[in-house]
Structure 1
Amino acid sequence: MARIKPQALLNQSKKKKGPSRISISTIVVCNLVVAVVVLSLVTTYRHWSQRSRNTLETQSQSHRFEDTNAASEQKSYDLPGYADINTSKGLITVELFKDASPEAVDRFLDLCQKDHFKGMPFHRVIKNYLVQAGHSQSSIPVEEWTSKGKLRGRLNTSPKHEAFMLGTPKTKGNNNKDFELLITTAPIPDLNDQLIVFGRVLKGEDVVQEIEEVDTDEHYQPKSQIGIISVILKREL
């Protein structure tokens, strides 16, 4: 048996212990795998980041919408819904139609704050029709108020045309001097185009009827002084 030389054994040992070579194709495949993983992570991050932003924006818009609605509802809720009209014949309590006639109610509330109705006289009383209070004569001719056979009976009445409804004549513009108070004492559908109904009498129908029974002249003006002493706004009865 031939002896192996020490130098040959050393060379064989180096060959066995030396690192194995990695092929280029393996390196390329590994890099591609790493790139795909990184790209997938970036795409996922962008997707969830955009989704989170959209969710936050939606929630923010929803909160703003809810806050706006809440503020509007709170404003409507806070407005007085009733009023005590103290007259020289007694007290009349009315409910205000805040939703059905918001503009008229807003003007009425504003004028109450300015004491517009304090001392306002009832200057027109038409039996079986209405009582009217104001600082100036209405632009509606008396003949139109008293044309009982003109349209009555041919029109269907609705709740806002029944007796003891609170209203004001329709006027051009927002002249506060023209804002008068009317309380109907009978259904008057023929005045639909001339009246804005913004409330109804809850208590004090007998007071309205007492005002209706006062003596008047040929122009339907009361012969004795009768008017509104004050108006007190109320949120609850």
Structure 2
Amino acid sequence: MSNIYIQEPPTSGKVLLRTTVGDIDIELWARECPKACRNFVQLCLEGYYNGTTFHRLVKGFIVQGGDPNNDGTGGESIYGHPFKDEFHSRLRYSRRGLVGMASSGKDDNGSQFFFTFAPTPELENKNTLFGKVTGDTVFNMLKLEEGIVDHQERPMYAHRIISTEVLSNPFNDIVPRSLPKPTKVKKSKKEKQGVKNFGLLSFGEEAEGDEQETTIFVKQNAGKAKSLHDVTDDPKLSKEAIKVPKKEPESEPEQNYEHLSDDCEEEPVTKSSINSDIIKSKLSRTSKPTSAKQPKREDIKSESEDDEDDVLMTQEEEKNQKISKEKSKIREEIASLKRQYQMDKVIKDKQLSKESEKNAKKDDIKGANENQYIKDFIQTKEKYTAKAKTTLKGQGREEFTLSLLSKFKSKLNNLKYKSNSEDDEKEPKDVDDNEVEKEISGDDWLAHSLNFNSNVPVLAKDASTKGDDWYDVYDPRNPLNKRKRGATDHSKSSQKSKSSRQNYK
């Protein structure tokens, strides 16, 4: 892959695309493809790609975007017309993460572009290659390949470009255009009057007549308040409005004065009688609110007594609830104990049945007592079955293995101690085969040790002998070394000739 990067020319511009997948950094080959790069940079500065989607996705090939219509039918270049293709000998579709211009034919480039997911040599000299995705943002670009695609190569949930930013502009003379913002036209919805299809009803003619009458009545009385008198033709209900005469308010002192004048004509009234009547009326007025206040106090007392009764009732209910909860817990524990007892009983019955079956099988074997081989077979089988049953798991297994290891260590130490004591007491004797066989059959061989270093003392060392770490370094161009090699080659050839002569003889 390194040779591919070396072949590519250096870039001279950088653009950042903010997408729903993440940021994507694009570096541009502005020297090799000036028209395509200028078009792409200016469209990014103008915000032309904001909100556009990646409308086409071919997995393992490309993902295409840059169309404001989001269907592959739109897009215009900054030049006002499609511009020509630009190819370079050092720019090839040889890897993923390359950016090219999408076109429907030769020299038909607009605003649409694509990213490659793999090497695409079939696009060379057909589509303009003007940029590459750099850094870790390649992985964000590869996320565009994920998703469901329909039969028309359109993603079901298309990702989109949120915004664009030009980090390094290779063209200083670019002046962004002020593009008109698309205005959304609000469509005024016209209210359509509902039309009833009376032909579908079995009584359509009658319903149509009633509908006409109601429409006429509604038009006549539109905007007026209606009542049952207006709608129905009941003779008992009159449709005429009642006119209520307005009464003029009369002053109370005049009435009192008239009454007093009448009374004066009939009977002479004294000031004392009038005063006594006024006092009685006042006393009667003051006595009424006191009588009304007394039942309120009684109501308050009754409410307080009811609250105390409610408190007592709630405490009793709480106690009853606690007792009922404890009872339910005890019942659940009893039920669980019964279940465990039944399960244990079932397991024991199964074990007893298995043991009885084994005993029956042992009895069924004919000649087991007479034949020694059958006895040995049954014994070994029982041993292995017992081992299989005693296999543990988890922490119990670790403890079991550690105990076995400690036993083995203690056994080795005891055997070494015995062997050392025997070596001190006994003198070296000739080894017999019978003794060796006994040691092999027993555990005495565990005390033996392997020693590869000889303990024989070195009296003197020959200076002419070379050690294992010795090595010769010589130059093959040296004439002395050439002579030595020639002598060795000559000796080998002479040995071969002698051997061939002996064969002929």
Within the candidate set 2, 10, 14, 1:82 is matched to 14
RMSD over equivalenced CA pairs, Å: 2.6
CA distance in 2, matches of 1:217, 1:102: 36
Counterpart among 109, 113, 128 of residue 60 in structure 2: 128
User: Is the counterpart of residue 209 in structure 1 residue 209 in structure 2?
Assistant: no
Q: C-alpha separation between the residues in 2 aligned to 1:174 and 1:234? A: 28
Contact 2:65–2:113 (8 Å) recurs in 1: yes
Residue 39 of structure 2: aligned partner: 107
Counting only pairs closer than 5 Å after superposition, residues 12-27 of structure 1 correspond to structure 2 as none
Partner in structure 2 of residue 117 of structure 1: 49
Q: Residue deviations 1:9-42, cap 9 Å, x none? A: xxxxxxxxxxxxxxxxxxxxxxxxxxxxxxxxxx
Note closer, same or farther for the CA distance 1:98–1:159 as it changes in structure 2 (3 Å cut): closer
Question: What TM-score do you get using the length of structure 2 for normalisation?
Answer: 0.26
1:228 aligns with one of 158, 161, 168: 161
Q: CA deviation at 1:85?
A: 0.8
2:131 to 191, 199, 204: 199
For residue 163 of structure 1, the aligned residue among 96, 100, 107 is: 96
- Selected match of 1:219 from 152, 155, 173: 152
Aligned-residue offset at 1:211? 0.7
- Aligned partners of 1:192, 1:133: CA distance in 2, in Å? 20
Gaps of 5+ in 1: 1-79, 140-156
How many angstroms apart in 2 are the aligned matches of 1:125 and 1:220? 6
Query: When you count strand as a share of all residues, which structure comes out higher?
Result: 1
Deviations 1:115-171 (A, max 9, x none): 1111110001111111111325448xxxxxxxxxxxxxxxxx975302110111246
CA distance in 1 between counterparts of 2:133 and 2:97 reads 5
TM-score (norm 1): 0.53
Is the helix fraction higher in 1 or 2?
2
2:463 match: none
- The alignment of Structure 1 onto Structure 2 pairs a total of residues equal to 139
Tell me: CA distance 1:106–1:138, structure 2 relative to 1, closer, same or farther (3 Å).
same
Higher relative contact order (CA 8 A, sep 6+): 1
1:187 matched residue in structure 2 = 119
The one-letter code matched in structure 1 to 2:157 is: S
For structure 2, which runs of at least 5 residues remain unmatched after alignment?
1-11, 74-88, 170-505
1:169–1:194 Cα contact (<8 Å) kept: no
